[in-house]
Amino acid sequence: METKTAKLLDGKTLAEKIQHKLLERIAELQPKIGRPPGLAVLMVGDNPASAAYVRNKEKACAKVGIASFGKHFPTQTTQAELEDAIAALNQDEQVDGILVQLPLPPHLDSIRLLHQIEPDKDVDGLHPVNMGRLVRQEAGLRSCTPAGVMRLLQEYKISLPGKQAVVVGRSILVGKPMALMLVDADATVTVAHSRSQDLKAIAQNADILISAVGIPGLITGEMVKPGAVVVDVGINRVTDASGKSRLVGDVHWESTAGVAEFITPVPGGVGPMTVAMLLQNTFASYLRRQGIKSDEL
């Protein structure tokens, strides 16, 4: 008997499609507006993972025609120096989006820094004003990873109204905004986490199961309802006995791919969509600041 394998929710291909549309729109608008969209990524210290993420974002900006105003600060930079840098970027007419690369060195107050960003330039969607707009279903910049998940589900025509959605994880970065976006799409949403009793029973009820906790292999095939949609937001680096490292998600691929109807790969699923939504948020801010109606990409 032939083993059924879940269909892939291919974030890499969709992200490339979004980037191609952005490239076309920016090339068309830049001569009229007189400048490209601008994104400033602030990084402090020399965390190698953060440095790789920042390079990746700058490369993606260059690919679509967004100008990068990256600022790299030494580890010992003070809170006041960073707040001054953000204040200057808030005023800079060339900059449409500002992003502080997390994590920051322990002596810095990341929440206070994020609060300094002008909400309409907060392309990470983490400012309390933007979180409030999400709660109230008002227009505003949305958190990139959950927005990327929603766009991926839309692309594959996965119907959400009335469906049981389970979000495993309750972070301000993914879990909470993800649950709110699913509620707005008329799904019936359960948020599970490390204190939830009987995660297996909760997960088995899900038509759409989204894991964003950062625990390799947490979600196994026996936790997945046959025919469910499984979205793996986790990106975890694991090292095998021979010392080779690789990226895996929160979902145990081998046991789950035969049960689910759709599944996101890691890498190549949600990760590329997060970057695509960052670019789209920067472009949306650019349009809004010129008084142009926002595009759906």
User: Per the domain annotation, does 22 fall within a domain?
Assistant: no
Annotated catalytic, 101?
Answer: yes
Tell me, yes or no, whether 180 and 88 share the same domain: no
CATH number of the domain encompassing residue 193: 3.40.50.720
User: Per the domain annotation, does 288 fall within a domain?
Assistant: no
195: pLDDT confidence band, cut at 50, 70 and 90?
very high
Tell me, yes or no, whether 171 and 260 share the same domain: yes
pLDDT, mean of residues 171-183: 97
User: Per the domain annotation, does 128 fall within a domain?
Assistant: no
Tell me, yes or no, whether 98 and 65 share the same domain: yes
Q: What is the pLDDT of residues 264-287, one digit of tens each?
A: 999 999 999 999 999 999 999 999
Given a contact cutoff of 8 angstroms between Cβ atoms, the answer to whether 245 and 251 are in contact is: no
Given a contact cutoff of 8 angstroms between Cβ atoms, the answer to whether 229 and 207 are in contact is: yes
CATH number of the domain encompassing residue 65: 3.40.50.10860
User: Per the domain annotation, does 94 fall within a domain?
Assistant: yes
175 is in an annotated binding site: no
Q: What is the pLDDT of residues 95-151, one digit of tens each?
A: 999 999 999 999 999 999 999 999 999 999 999 999 999 999 999 999 999 999 999
Catalytic option among 10, 124, 207, 232 = 124
Tell me, yes or no, whether 175 and 256 share the same domain: yes
235 is in an annotated binding site: yes
Tell me, yes or no, whether 111 and 167 share the same domain: no
Given a contact cutoff of 8 angstroms between Cβ atoms, the answer to whether 297 and 281 are in contact is: no
Q: At residue 56, does pLDDT exceed 80?
A: yes
Q: What is the pTM of this model?
A: 0.95
Given a contact cutoff of 8 angstroms between Cβ atoms, the answer to whether 192 and 165 are in contact is: no
Tell me, yes or no, whether 103 and 163 share the same domain: no
Tell me, yes or no, whether 112 and 208 share the same domain: no
Tell me, yes or no, whether 164 and 251 share the same domain: yes
User: Per the domain annotation, does 115 fall within a domain?
Assistant: yes
pLDDT, mean of residues 210-238: 95
Q: At residue 296, does pLDDT exceed 70?
A: no
Give, to the nearest 10 degrees, the angle between helix 144-155 and helix 175-184: 40
Catalytic option among 10, 19, 57, 96 = 57
User: Which residues, 6+ apart, have CB-to-CB distance to 74 below 8 Å?
Assistant: 44, 45
User: Per the domain annotation, does 220 fall within a domain?
Assistant: yes
Residue 165 structural domain: 143-272
What is residue 2's predicted lDDT score, i.e. its pLDDT? 45
Tell me, yes or no, whether 73 and 152 share the same domain: no
171 is in an annotated binding site: yes
User: Per the domain annotation, does 127 fall within a domain?
Assistant: no
Tell me, yes or no, whether 96 and 155 share the same domain: no
Sign of CA dihedral 12, 18, 24, 30: negative
294: pLDDT confidence band, cut at 50, 70 and 90?
confident
Annotated catalytic, 124?
Answer: yes
User: Per the domain annotation, does 12 fall within a domain?
Assistant: no
Q: At residue 243, does pLDDT exceed 90?
A: no
Tell me, yes or no, whether 200 and 258 share the same domain: yes
Tell me, yes or no, whether 41 and 82 share the same domain: yes
Annotated catalytic, 57?
Answer: yes
Q: What is the pLDDT of residues 74-94, one digit of tens each?
A: 999 999 999 999 999 999 999
What is residue 57's predicted lDDT score, i.e. its pLDDT? 94
Q: How many domains does the chain have?
A: 2
Q: At residue 40, does pLDDT exceed 90?
A: yes
Write phi, then psi, for 55 (nearest 5 degrees).
Answer: -60, -45
Given a contact cutoff of 8 angstroms between Cβ atoms, the answer to whether 41 and 58 are in contact is: yes
Catalytic option among 101, 120, 232, 250 = 101
pLDDT, mean of residues 185-200: 96
Q: At residue 242, does pLDDT exceed 90?
A: no
Q: At residue 1, does pLDDT exceed 80?
A: no
